[in-house]
Structure 1
Amino acid sequence: MTQHPLAAADPRVGRFLVPVLITLELFSGIIQGWIVPLLGDIAGHYAVSGGAVSWVLTVGLLSSAVSVPLMVVLADRFGRQRLLVIAVVLSAGGSVLIAFAPVFPLVLLGAVIQGPVAACLPLEMALLKHFRPERANRVIGSLVGMLTIGVALGAVVGGLAMDAIGNLPVVQFLPAAVLVLYIPLVWSLVPRDQGDVTRSVDWIGATTLGIALIGIMYGLSEGPATGWTGVSVVLPLALGIVALVGFFIAETRVPTPLVDIGALKGARILPALVVGFLAAIALFGNQTPTVLYFTADPASVGYGLGGSAGLAGVVYGATALLSSLGAFLSYGIAKRIGARFAVAAGCLLIAAGVGGMVLAPSDLAAVAALGVLSAFGSGVVFGVLPGIVVERAPETDAASVSGVYNTTRTIGGALAGAFVASVLAAVVLSTGGADAAAPAVPALGAFQIIWAVFAVLNVVAALVALTLGRSDVDASASSSSAGPSADRTSPDAPLTIGATS
């Protein structure tokens, strides 16, 4: 592949590509992990219910689901580096708004603006495919690992900072300030690639997808409050479903679609998308109920551990580190037992971890152990799947296919968030004459329903993972065991997790 002229003229720029992308994923993870242990404090600061505060994560995922495919298509036209800079700018701006929002609706708006942070990973994957094709898969594993390390670090430091400082806006601004300072580094040290200016942008597709997701999310949010047969629920749900179906039909008929259905068929990644969607439901959806359960006072509500934001952050961060470990070890595990079996095993670990929470453990060690199971399983699953997607994607469609994979994950997370918000709002403790103006408190049954559904979906994901087929990793492991005469993979060869034999 011909090196881009800028990289050739100034090798120092290309030299810093990988470290800049890896540290960017670290900061992206810090931003995403920082807010998780603060959810209870956010609910108290703005006097909103547990169901309402869960929408902070949900609307962010919804924004990601719409913005990721749009941004990767814009990257194909205007260049991936330019769109990566824009994604960082929006993420930083949204983080600042979340920190200083005077009212709760502006917190949600900040989460929407922050949503393009999810576009960083597919844009980075496409940049690596373009500038470092020989190392792309190996570096992608490091990106995923650093992302989860960032999530862990953000959760730990965010919770401890809240305990130490006690001022929510100040605590939330700390990671936002770091991301703002990182903008010039991305602009100056990531090499610029040339987009295809003749490529059109599917604005109609982006609008239709946005209408579809907003309709579905709004309908799910209104269900617990107004009843599932009300017009305010049925109408937006129907509109959202019709728009979603229309979106996929229309995408097969436009010259430059937001989601290239043809490229997806050619890349043979449908099972990977299904597994990513199902596993992401527990990955993203489990954050709010677990933190609310952890910080709930058992003396007043009858369940929970009564932990502080700092302790919740430490536990969440420690389990996130196990997810990072799973991501770093995922290639070795896949090489030993096969990629499809590694993904299936990871899904079963997630199912065991969230399923065990149905028993409502009251012991910190038990909750942490279950979190370790699900976190390590998530690391393995999401450490292997991106390699499958990138390896099977054509170089010309790497950004688009990678964007579809990440969009599928975020849609799963957004739907999970809407489901969690609905259940937490619908299954509440009886006030029994208490202050009617106080926010509703979820009942234990709400958490148990959520965890049981997540566990079942991950069992289904494990079954789907078995259809991924054999990979070059499987072939490499077989040839290694065949003896010295067998072909061996060079230590510097790219990791081809996803290619079928």
Structure 2
Amino acid sequence: MSRSRTVGPLAGVVGALVVVEATSGVIQGFYTPLLTDVARNLDIHDSDINWFEAAQLLLSAIVVPLLARLGDMIGHRKVLIGSLIVTAAASWGIAFAPSFWLFTLVWAIQGFYVVWLPMNVSIIHARARKHPNTAELTSKGAGLIVVALEAGAIGGALVAGQLGGLLPLWMTLSVPAVLVTIALFVVIFKVEDPGTRAGGKIDSSGTVLLSLALLAITGGLALARVNGFTPFVWGVILAGGALLWWFVEVEKRKDDPVIDMHLISRPTLWPVILTSALFGVSVLGAQGPLSTFAGTNPDEVGYGLGLASAERSYLIGAYVLSLLIGAALYARISRIFQPRPVLIAAAGLVGAGYLLLVPFHGGVLIVASLMIVAGLGSGALVAALPATAAAAAPPHQTGVATGLTNTTKTLGGAFASAIFALALASGVDSETTTAASLSGYQTVWAICGVTAIIAVGALLTVPKVAFTSADPDAEGLGEGSDALALEAIGPDVVVSETQRRPRPPEAPAPQSPDIAQEDER
């Protein structure tokens, strides 16, 4: 089959969404080499950097399921544009925020960018369904935006490291804001509304309960930063846990829940959702500690790598490049083996990389090597988890299914970031040093490694033919339900629809003009 047939019909929209995901990658990679400089500029302790991530991931965990549901209801393009506007405003705020608390606020609001990937995948899928070769079109489109995301993260880290030593900090921090603003206009002018709608309504009560639960748990951890784990702090955390249990019980009875508990309970979906949460601990929660450890001067405290911002950018860039390689290798290796054992091996690599960092962290080469090991596994999981979760979802819930992996991943990262902040602050005298403690860094790496090993155990419970179209029953499909299976995830996602029985006819979605076919690129 010619390349023009497999890529041409979606070339315009995918090209625009590549800009969006590349910008998302820049956001994820750009700031990390600069975190030590940000801490010095705001006159805060290195451990306080983790509260930026905790706040952003907490907000993301709240808004992603809400926006994913809203995207299915009112249109994924509208939600994408709205989230771009909010992210652009927050990105400009980051460049000029003068204080720790204001910086934390705008950093948190920037977390709206997390919804871009599920919205982009849903837009591509909706457009591809208008063509006979839906699977190939979605495969190529999804693969291109994943590559763009990883490439943006690598480029962002490297550029930030170089600019950090040349420009004032506010000017360097303005670069992501400029790129988000450009991406906003690209979507407005280049992405048409595919016209797909699922109907339904927003679960306001569920959203409020989830927000209160997450705020209580994270707020309790934040209070522990100031006063330690007092009875009051434990009470706040337990109240958050009780609210979270209440949220789950309420959602089970809702027709249009903000998080579909019945969808999560499918036999092949719950291990993926749990893996996403555990994976979020390392892929989202551990990047700040890695950057600050690399910037810590060993001549002053006896540990750390003592790297400048440019050198830290190379370390971060090597890690992110390993993510991209891991995603590409997963797509190819899973054609030879079943996706399930490859996913298990990927989680095992993450665990091994972080656990080995606990005793071996004395030089740049060993730290970089172990981070690359963890990155190879992480890349496979980043590419695979959204689509394997969608394998148990009906076509009209693809936004919700892909959003679930982001929601749980950000939840894992949010709680981990708060816990890591406490661990890194323990055992140091903030009056004499701004460096976090070595025992705190070792605790961070140990937690990342152990959670990855637990994810391996969860994935072992999945049927061997899961994440393929071979056996709908093994994929946990209920009687009369269908699934959108995104197999062999990564740069070559394969999409197939499987059914237990024919579905009732659906009203055709409003048609928009087809995108002009393009020749080979």
Greater Cα offset, 138-147 or 325-334: 138-147
**1:282-361 aligned within 5 A:** 282-361=282-361
The amino acid that maps onto 2:128 is R
Q: Which residue of 2 aligns with 1:467?
A: 461
What is the distance in 2 between the residues matched to 1:58 and 1:417?
5
Matches within 5 A, 1:417-496: 417-428=417-428, 430=429, 436=431, 440-471=434-465, 495-496=494-495
Query: SS state of the match for residue 494, structure 2?
Result: coil
23, 27, 33: which one aligns with 1:27: 23
CA distance in 2, matches of 1:385, 1:499: 19
- Aligned equivalent of 2:161: 159
The structural deviation recorded for 1:405 is: 1.5
Structure 1: distance between partners of 2:11 and 2:440? 51
Residue number in structure 1 paired with 2:180: 179
- Counterpart CA distance in 2 for 1:267 and 1:348 is 21
Q: 1:446 to 1:99 in 2, by over 3 A?
A: same
Distance 1:340 1:13 in 2: 32
For the 8 Å contact 1:148–1:323, the answer to whether it is kept is yes
- Report 1:2-13 matches (<5 A): none
Q: How far 1:472 moved relative to its partner?
A: 7.2
Match among 32, 49, 69 for residue 73 of structure 1 = 69
Q: How far has the Cα of 1:202 moved from its partner?
A: 1.2
> Hey, what does 2:38 align to over in structure 1?
42
**Conservation of the 8 A alpha-carbon contact between 1:14 and 1:191:** no
Q: Quickly say closer, same or farther: Cα 1:26–1:120, change in 2 above 3 A.
A: same
Contact 2:276 2:408 in 1 (8 A): yes
- After TM superposition, give the deviation of residue 229 of structure 1 in Å: 2.8
The one-character-per-residue Cα deviations of 1:342-394 (angstroms, maximum 9, x if unpaired) are: 11111111112111211242221111111110111101122222221223321
Q: How many angstroms apart in 2 are the aligned matches of 1:137 and 1:471?
A: 20
Residues 104-123 of structure 1 deviation map (CA, whole Å, 9 limit, x = unaligned): 21111111211110001111
Check conservation: 2:331, 2:493, Cα contact below 8 A.
Answer: no
User: In the alignment, which residue of structure 2 is the partner of 1:117?
Assistant: 113
User: For structure 1, which segment, 411-420 or 335-344, has the greater mean C-alpha deviation from structure 2 after superposition?
Assistant: 335-344
1:60 aligned residue: 56
Tell me what 1:107 maps to.
103
Shift of residue 67 of structure 1?
Answer: 0.8
Match of 1:136 in 2: 138
Structure 2 match to 1:216: 217
Identity among equivalent positions (%) equals 27
TM-score (norm 2): 0.85
Counterparts of 1:13 and 1:207, CA distance in 2? 41
1:354-433 maps to which residues of 2 (within 5 A)?
354-428=354-428, 430=429
Residues 291-340 of structure 1, C-alpha deviations (whole Å, 9 max, x = no match): 11111001111101110011111110122011011112212112222211
Residue 206 of structure 1: aligned partner: 207
CA distance in 2 between partners of 1:275 and 1:498 (Å) = 24
Moved more, 248-257 or 36-45: 248-257
Q: Are residues 220 and 267 of structure 1, via their aligned partners in 2, closer, same or farther at CA, if it must alter by over 3 Å?
A: same
Report SS of the residue matched to 2:461: coil
In 2, the alpha carbon distance for the partners of 1:177 and 1:419 equals 33
> Aligned partner of 2:180: which letter?
L
CA distance in 2, matches of 1:126, 1:494: 14
Deviates more, 1:77-86 or 1:328-337: 328-337
Change (3 A) 1:422 1:331: same
**Deviation, structure 1 residue 61:** 1.0
The residue type equivalent to 1:285 in the other structure is G
Which residue does 1:225 correspond to in 2?
Answer: 226
Q: Decide which moves more: 194-203 or 358-367.
A: 194-203
- Render the CA deviation track for 1:80-136: whole Å, top value 9, x for unaligned: 100011111111111110111121211111112111100011111222222114232
Amino acid at match of 1:97: G
Distance in structure 1 (CA, Å) of the matches to 2:452 and 2:198: 42
Tell me whether 1:98 sits opposite 2:98 in the alignment. Answer: no
CA distance in 1, matches of 2:11, 2:374: 36
Q: CA deviation at 1:193?
A: 3.5
TM-score, normalised via structure 1 length: 0.88
One-letter code aligned to 1:106: L
Letter in 1 for 2:362: S
Q: Say whether the 8 Å CA contact 1:155–1:317 is kept in structure 2.
A: yes
* Structure 1 stretch displaced more, 47-56 or 130-139: 130-139
Please tell me the residue identity of whatever aligns with 2:148.
M
Distance 1:499 1:414 in 2: 35
CA distance in 2, matches of 1:153, 1:498: 36
User: Which secondary structure state, in structure 1, belongs to the residue aligned with residue 200 of structure 2?
Assistant: coil
Alpha-carbon distance change, 179 to 67 in structure 1, aligned in 2, over 3 angstroms: same
Q: CA deviation at 1:171?
A: 0.3
Return closer, same or farther for 1:244/1:439 CA change in 2, 3 Å cut-off: farther
Q: Which amino acid aligns with 2:101?
A: P
In the TM superposition, residue 224 of structure 1 has moved relative to its aligned partner by 4.1
* Long gaps (5+) in structure 2: 1-7, 471-486, 501-521
Instruction: Indicate the RMSD between aligned Cα atoms, in angstroms.
Output: 2.5
Does the 8 Å CA contact 2:350/2:449 hold for their aligned counterparts? yes
Deviation, structure 1 residue 280? 1.7
Give, in whole Å, the separation in 2 of the partners of 1:29 and 1:423: 28
State the secondary structure of the residue aligned to 1:191: coil
Partner letter of residue 142 of structure 2? Answer: I
Any idea what SS the aligned residue of 2:201 has? Answer: coil
Quote the offset at 1:272 in angstroms: 0.8
**Aligned CA distance change for structure 1 residues 475 and 102 (closer, same or farther; 3 Å):** closer
Q: How far off is 1:267 after superposition?
A: 8.0
Structure 1 residue identity aligned to 2:154: A
Letter of the structure 2 residue corresponding to residue 92 of structure 1: A
8 Å contact 2:58–2:214 — kept in the other structure?
Answer: yes
Deviations 1:414-472 (A, max 9, x none): 111111111112232x47xxxx3x66532211111111121111111112222232347
Amino acid of the structure 1 residue aligned with 2:97: A
Match of 1:17 in 2: 13
| Structure 2: distance between partners of 1:138 and 1:334 | 16
- Secondary structure of the residue aligned to 1:359 is coil
Q: Specify the alignment match of 1:170 in structure 2.
A: 171
Q: Name the SS for the 2:391 alignment partner.
A: helix
Shift of 1:137: 4.1
- Change in CA separation of 1:91 and 1:207 when aligned onto 2, cut-off 3 Å: same
**1:49 CA drift (Å):** 0.9
